[in-house]
Amino acid sequence: MRKIRVYGEDILRRCATEVKNIDGKTIRLIRGMKQTLKQSHGLGLSAPQVGISERIFIALDDKNRDRIITVINPEILTISKDNEIDMEGCLSFPEIYFSIQRAKKVILKGYNEKGKEIIIEAKGILARCFQHEMDHLDGKLIIDYATDEEKKFWKEKLEKLSKSS
C-alpha cells in the first residue's frame, strides 16, 4: 500500500508528465496503486495521489467491481454536452464531498499496462470518475469546483488536512 497524498501537498497541484515507456517501475507503481485503491475503498486513484507525477490513473470497472481499469497517458476523445450534478469525494480529501457538474458520457483513449491502445466509453459514475482522475493529472482538484458556501461548510476539515500535509 502506498501513502495517499492529501490536499495541501504540492504534488497534487503539478501537471503530471507523460509516460514514455512502460517499464518494471511503471508496473510496480500500478500494482501498488491497485492495492492502495482496494484498501482505501476508493473508486479511482491517480499516480500523483501516491506521489508520482506521471499520467496514469486506475478506476474500478462499473460493470465488474473486482476489475480495475488502468489508463496510461489518457486523452478524452469525446465528451457529452449533457451534464449532471452529483456529490463527489476524493481519497486526497477524506470525508469531504463537493457537488460537481460533470459530463454524463466520455470516450477515453489511452494505453493499458501492456502498452496496448485502449478506447473506453463510460457513462454515469465511471464517466464521472474518469473526468475526476483526468483532472488530477493536470493538478486540478475537487475543491476547484466548490462554491464559497461549500468551502465554508468544510472549512475546519480542510484546514486540518492542509496542516497535516
Which residues have a catalytic role annotated?
133
Between 19 and 58, CB nearer to Co ion = 58
* 75 to 24, 48, 61, 102, 160: CA distances (angstroms): 23, 17, 18, 16, 34
Shortest distance, CB of residue 21 to Co ion, whole angstroms? Answer: 26
The stretch among 16-24, 61-69, 87-95, 120-128 that binds Co ion (CB under 5 A) is: 87-95
- Are 2 and 33 in contact by the 8 Å Cβ rule? The answer is yes
Between 73 and 131, CB nearer to Co ion = 131
Between 3 and 20, CB nearer to Co ion = 3
> What is the greatest pairwise CA distance in the chain?
45
- Check residue 6 for interaction with Co ion (CB under 5 A): no
Shortest distance, CB of residue 4 to Co ion, whole angstroms? Answer: 9
CA R_g for the chain: 15
- Check residue 90 for interaction with Co ion (CB under 5 A): yes
Q: Count interface residues toward Co ion (CB under 5 A).
A: 1
Q: Interface residues with Co ion (CB under 5 A)?
A: 90
